[in-house]
Amino acid sequence: MMFCAALYACLLAAPPTYAADVAPIVSRACCECHRDGGVAPFALASPQDLIKRARTIARAVRDDSMPPWFAVVAEGSAHRFKNDASLSAADKATLLAWLDSDERALGDLSKAPPPRPVAPAWRISTPDVVFEIPAPVEIKAKGTMNYVNVRVPTNFTEDVWVREWEVVPSAREAVHHVLVFARPPEAKGRGAGEDEGRGFFAAFVPGGGMRSYDSTRAKKLPKGSTLIFQLHYTPNGQATQDRTKIGLVLAKTAPEHEVRTVGIFDSALDIPPHTATHREMSSLTAPADIRILSWMPHMHTRGKSFVAYRKRDGAREVLIDVPRYDFNWQLSYDYATPLEVSKGTLIHIEGVFDNSAENSANPDPSKRVRWGQQTTDEMLIGYIDYELAHEIAREK
């Protein structure tokens, strides 16, 4: 009689081997980060690397915490994401069958994909220009730090078109996130850094930190703009210094489409203490016919889920659904097909917050929580990258 340790083991024709079955999946789905010089804390380059951590890896794969990807696409939904990093059910089954097996057969190792080379210094193409904060910021060993705002003039004498960008902190272990705002010379009033809905240009967040647009798209950086680096440090026991930089790859000519970014946000949020499910909402009216290219939901540690939708014939059409929002992974979700939205359409966002003791990331369930910059405060922002459906004629 055949014995199956688990159902998925029965579904596989032959027991998987490392070389033929496991390594190709790991190389494709994990090693972008889990390699020498990558963002993950350990490499997954050999069978030994996997065997050493088999139980932790099996747990992470089973509960979908790795690879980091938190959006769910409903059966039949037209709104899929081209950077969807989630494992297919078949790949999950293969990995788990091998990790959970006693023998963990290696197979013919000469047929396994070669290990990924050491991660390059830049994940984007080699930048044309790099702006670094002019002096290192001292990060203390303990406690919390207020946001640090550093202005870096670009001194561009012409508007430039940015096709790729990447934000790279030097002390990644103590950097919570970095937002980079572009402030044109004529902008008046409050510093862009005080208003996260406007002027947003680029960001370093766990799991993100870069963007490459296709050759028809670019983001405009107006001449004379100042970049405002809003740096949020989280002291981690060891005093250190950080010098964050941003690298830009420029387009030689104006693109077909200008990529713009806007945040849909709810700065009036008010979350009562000891509440497991508190909902906040906001919306934006599409100012023109637009195409949404991507979403980046932003909440803090009480953030539990995020959804965006529009109404069509009275029904909700879900545009993005992140049922298990994870503060540690503020990902950008890029549509496979840009989403057409006609002028005047209301785009709704809805965030659910868990301010109960059940939420292990919650710093203080007894606190009434309002909008604010510290991790202990909250935010609800849905950043979208979009372009105008009818690009305004522009001199090339």
Minimum CB distance to ligand HEC, residue 29 (Å): 4
Site residues (vs ligand HEC, CB under 6 A): 29-30, 32-34, 39-41, 53, 56-57, 60-61, 66-68, 85, 87, 207, 328
Residue whose tokens read 């953030």 = 303
Number of neighbouring beta carbons within 10 Å of residue 13: 5
Q: Taking the CA of residue 247 as centre, how many other CA atoms within 13 Å lie in the half-sphere pointing to its CB?
A: 17
> d(Cα 167, Cα 179) in Å, to the nearest integer?
9
d(CA 153, CA 266): 30
Which CB sits closer to ligand HEC, 87 or 262? Answer: 87
Of residues 30 and 45, the one with the C-beta less far from ligand HEC: 30
Query: Between 295 and 327, whose beta carbon lies closer to ligand HEC?
Result: 327
State the minimum distance, in angstroms, from the CB of residue 337 to ligand HEC.
23
Q: Which residues contact 304 (CB under 8 A, 6 or more apart)?
A: 277, 324, 325, 351, 352, 353, 354, 359
Q: How many CB atoms lie within 10 A of CB 391?
A: 12
Give least dist CB 362 to ligand HEC, A. Answer: 18
Alpha-carbon separation of residue 178 from 191, 212, 233 (angstroms): 15, 18, 9
Angle at 162 between CA 125 and CA 170, to 5 degrees: 55
- Shortest Cβ distance from residue 84 to ligand HEC (Å)? 12
Choose between 22 and 192: whose C-beta lies nearer to ligand HEC. Answer: 22
* Residue 67 preceded by cis peptide, ω within 30: yes
CB of 134 to ligand HEC, least distance (A): 29
Residues 6+ apart with CB under 8 A from 6: 96, 97, 100
CA pair distance 31, 88, nearest whole angstrom: 17
- At closest approach, how far in Å is the CB of 377 from ligand HEC? 22
What is the spatial distance between Cα 176 and Cα 180, in angstroms, rounded to a whole number?
Answer: 14
**Residue position matching structure tokens 């060993």:** 141
Residue nearer to ligand HEC on the CB measure, 212 or 328:
328
- Shortest separation between residue 243's beta carbon and ligand HEC, angstroms: 21
Cα distance between residue 192 and residue 209, in whole Å: 19
Nearer to ligand HEC, 41 or 189 (CB): 41
Residue among 12 and 40 whose Cβ is closer to ligand HEC = 40
CB 258 within 8 A of CB 170: no
- Whether the CB-CB separation of 193 and 179 falls below 8 Å is answered with yes
349 within 8 A of 308, measured Cβ to Cβ: yes
Least Å distance, CB 85 to ligand HEC, is 6
CA–centroid distance for 53 within its chain: 25
Nearer to ligand HEC, 87 or 168 (CB): 87
Least distance from ligand HEC to the Cβ atom of residue 27, Å:
9
Q: Which is nearer to ligand HEC, 59 or 274 (CB)?
A: 59
